[in-house]
Amino acid sequence: MATINVYDQKGNKKETLEVSDSIFDVPMNASLVKQVYETMEANSRSGLAHTKDRSERSGSGRKPWKQKGTGRARAGSLRSPLWRKGGIVFGPTKDRNFSGRINVSMKRKALCIALSEKLRDEKLIVVDTLELEEKKTRNADALLKALKVSGNILVGLSFEEMETIRAIINLPQVRVKNSIDVNVLDVFRSATLVISQQSVKEFEKRLVK
């Protein structure tokens, strides 16, 4: 079985924890991870760009001039795309849908691959507990400094440790999530993942099928 070093809140190695190979020792599958990552990004995308077509432009519906006899080209509407301040043809609209579908098993395996890669790169830090006696930002900062982690950090808290979010959330470049909500995007967007032993158990309960 794969093993992970467990540290105390002072950064000292406390013990070695055996973890499931089906979560923390999964070989890389780049095509699967790419498909899941891009689909999840697309699902979080919203179409904000919007141009008005001729039906949405303001203006009279009256025909500008009669069809024949003026010597000018035919014109049927002031809101024609051919005219200044007219509608836009083939412009982006807010009705576009970028979402896609992925299987639950694919999402689960992609997350296992992401966790395994973090462990292989030594960017997965497990602490015995992330509960702080005093919920102060300075204490959370001291904890991360003791673990010698820096940069873009993701802290995964177990359900029992969620009160610690008040101390960590103010730290720059540190994001906090409940471990049961951590996904592929969260793991790959962070340089280091810090979790507790309880979070490891939650990952195993969630991902081992």
Task: Tell if the pTM clears 0.85, that is, is over it.
Answer: no
Q: Which residues of the chain have a pLDDT value below 50?
A: none
**Where are any strands of DSSP class E within 54-127?**
124-127
Query: Which among 122, 101, 128, 87 has a CA at the least distance from the CA of 38?
Result: 101
Count of Cβ atoms closer than 10 Å to residue 118 Cβ:
21
What are the φ/ψ torsions at residue 146 (nearest 5 degrees)?
-65, -30
Domains of the chain as residue ranges with CATH = 2-45+100-207 (3.40.1370.10), 47-97 (no CATH)
DSSP one-letter string for 37-68:
HHHHHHHT---------TTTS-S--S-SS-SS
CA distance 154 to 173: 9
Give the pLDDT confidence score for residue 150 in this predicted structure: 85
Dig out the tokens for 25 from the structure. 């020792």
Residue with the two structure tokens 């070695």 = 16
Give the pLDDT confidence score for residue 209 in this predicted structure: 66
Dig out the tokens for 14 from the structure. 């406390």
Query: b/e map of 133-155 (b: 16 or more CB within 10 Å)?
Result: eeeeeeebbebbeebebeeebbb
